[in-house]
Amino acid sequence: MAGAQGAWPERPIRLIVPWPPGGSTDTIARLFQAKLGELLGRPVVIDNRGGASGAIGSAEAARAPADGYTWMLAYDNEATNQTVMRLSYRTLEAFAPVTLVATGPLALVAHQSTPYRNFQDVVNAAKQAPDTIGYATSGVGGLAHVSTTLLSAQAGIRLVHVPYRGGGPAVQDAVAGNVPMFMSNVVIISQHIRNGVLRPLGVTTRGESRHVPGVQSFAQQGLAEFEAPTWWAFLGRAGTPEPILRRMNEALSQALADPEVKAKIEEQGCDVVASDPAACGRFLTAEIEKWGKVIRDNNIRTDS
């Protein structure tokens, strides 16, 4: 066994991205893919397995052998899916954390035709007319939905959730003004913020984010305890030999530290973290617990 571990990798490595091509998770994976393969001495092949808010690809990864040849780049929905869906696996049991690749802000944006200039404007309007102001997200039970539910509860308001089947249709309707607000990661809305069609009202990081300059976080706008970063984590199968996990962590850390790779990833609207496995595991545990409570407290369900 030691000899097999020492020879790893002997063939191409499969990286499951549980989302279709073109999304933020796929984009980030492709930005470090070549460098990681170069460092490991074998090609890294991306396998897009989209569907069910990431759950189909995650379930596929959870069934893979623990031999170091199948890995996964998880998105933040991995944490909310654990409570909002009926799954065939448990993330913390099925996977071995390798690294927290990156984190970034979600931003609540309003169409330019609305009167909302900051989140307090929304709070004031929602208190005068509860259950009348809509906000779009990419789907029921995702981090954008669950975090806005928590945000609304902490602000003492009731908004109307308008779920879409993915970020693409949601951003189209937000830009068209068919829904007044949209909670999203910055990747798909940054150009619309820059051209003034969508007005940022707040970001979900603890403080201001350089990716949405000049916009205060919700914590800075009076909700001191609110924080809901979007994130991407690199996971292996539980039971993968420790030397292989360690080698992957080292190679991935080197790939993410490469100036060109790091710059390209951060251009997507996030910050490279490249944590150690223990820190990644603690982060995942905390996210699953935090959002699981919000989902249960607010009886959020999907049809999955």
- Tens of pLDDT along 191-243? 899 999 999 999 999 999 999 999 999 999 999 989 999 999 999 999 999 99
Total number of domains in the chain: 2
Give Cα 182 to chain centroid, integer Å: 16
What pLDDT does 20 receive? 85
Q: Which two tokens stand for residue 26?
A: 């796929």
- The Cα-based distances of 267 to 15, 58, 211, 229, 262 in angstroms read 22, 26, 8, 17, 9
Helix H or strand E segment including 206: none
Quick one: 124 and 98 in the same domain?
Answer: no
Domain that holds residue 284: 2-104+229-297
The domain boundary, picked from 188, 203, 218, lies at: 203
Instruction: State mean pLDDT over 172-196.
Output: 93
Q: Do 97 and 113 have their domain in common?
A: no
CATH code, domain carrying 131: 3.40.190.10
**The token pair that represents 48 in the structure block:** 């897009």
- Asked whether the beta carbons of 8 and 43 are under 8 A apart, the reply is no
Same domain, 93 and 128: no
Torsion of Cα atoms, 122 then 127 then 128 then 133, to 10°: 50
Closest C-alpha among 52, 105, 48, 51 to residue 81: 52
Q: Tell me the β-bridge partners of 48.
A: 17
pLDDT level of residue 304 (50, 70, 90 thresholds): very low
The side-by-side arrangement of strands in the sheet containing 198-203 is: 160-163, 134-137, 181-185, 106-111, 198-203
How does pLDDT run across 114-156, given as a tens digit for each residue? 999 999 999 999 999 999 999 999 888 999 999 999 999 999 9
| Shared domain check, 239 and 93 | yes
Report pTM.
0.90
For position 303, what pLDDT does the model report?
53
Q: Do the domain assignments include residue 32?
A: yes
Q: How big, in percent rounded to 5, are the helix, strand and coil portions of the chain? A: 45, 20, 35
218 assigned to some structural domain: no
Total residues found in the chain within this entry = 304
Instruction: Say if residue 242 is in the same domain as residue 97.
Output: yes
Could you tell me which residue, 173 or 304, shows the higher pLDDT? 173
8 and 100 fall within a common domain: yes
